Amino acid sequence: MQINSKQMKILKYLLFLVLIIIIGSAIYFGTKDGTYDIQDSMVIDAPPEVVFSKVNNFKSWEKWGPWKKEDPETTFTYAEKTSGEGASYSWNGNMNGSITTTKVIPNKEIEQNLLVKTPMGERNSIMYWDFEEVENGTKVTWGTKGEHTLVDKAYQSIKGSDYKSKVHEMNKVGLEGLAAEVIEDMKQYAINVDGVTQYGGGYYMYTTSVAKQDELEEKTKPMMNEVMGFVTRNKLNTAGNPFTLYNQIDNANNTVIFSTGVPVREQVITPEGSPVVCGYMEPVSAVKTTLKGNYKHLEEAYTKTRKYMDKNSLQIDPDGKMFEVYITDPEKVPNPANWVTEVYIPIISTPEPIEQGI
């Protein structure tokens, strides 16, 4: 079939018209602002160090991240390094993508490169995280910023796609999942009755007070700070971990007379009127129990210890004083799930054989 001159003119006109439309569309969409900076925040009831640690480790993202919730068939591939600068991971699902960490300020900020492969091509963005300590925990901000390609702008305009709303929804799902994971992690604890042991005793610096049983934790911290401050100011050589000694427990009135102490290598003579004084603990036989977790589980630790003692016919020494030794410092170990406390209940005798654990 031959095209005559008239048809050729019409064809050229149509091609020219199409070209004008393409150029006009490119100019129109090219002049539209394609930059975006989308962020969402949530306050999580946890220390910044705990929340930061969860986000900083990509191996935790599979549990709380939004991608698998949207597509359960999504699979993840981890690089050799999964936390800190240079860490990365990728996923395959409805859309494939990868994230690489490029900047880390511990417990403060994280910045990452986000690559998502869409039907319209690759989309590159910057993801950023801010961790701010607030009264009720940590304010976590998750943001994404970048600039849409010309194709993206055209596609979203034609399809009426609301990119910002989709990212906000993704952030919301992710932050809610992150909060749930962090809180669940902090609840973890374990109690093990280690059995009968000998505690060596020795000199210690201490201060004493009385409190309602439900006020113990609140009162213990400032008292311990006072003792530690005295030890530091006087450059005393410590000989062990801080502890709380229960001098007298009055269950009828719900009160406790207790001391917070720090072991030292030798006897220390303190000036008259000093709130911190030196004491001596005799070596003692005791049933030891180790709690790994929040101090609020100490009551359960004592209950398990007493059950162990009943099972093994061990008698509490009426002249002995129960005490707790704090192996970890909450100021240095922010996650309560990692706190380690040793509980000691003095006993009179050590019948054999002893059944270990409970």
| The two structure tokens encoding residue 159 | 């399809």
The predicted pLDDT at position 113 comes to 95
Q: What is the pLDDT of residues 96-129, one digit of tens each?
A: 889 999 999 999 999 999 998 876 667 888 999 9
Three-state secondary structure string covering 282-344? CCEEEEEEEEECCHHHHHHHHHHHHHHHHHCCCCECCCCCCEEEECCCCCCCCCHHHCEEEEE
The helix (run of H) or strand (run of E) holding residue 210 is strand 202-212
What is the average pLDDT score of the chain?
A: 86
0.85 exceeded by pTM: no
How many residues in total does the chain contain? 358
Residues of the chain with pLDDT under 70: 1-34, 119-121, 148-162, 349-358
Domains and CATH numbers, the chain: 34-187 (3.30.530.20), 190-346 (3.20.80.10)
The predicted pLDDT at position 4 comes to 58
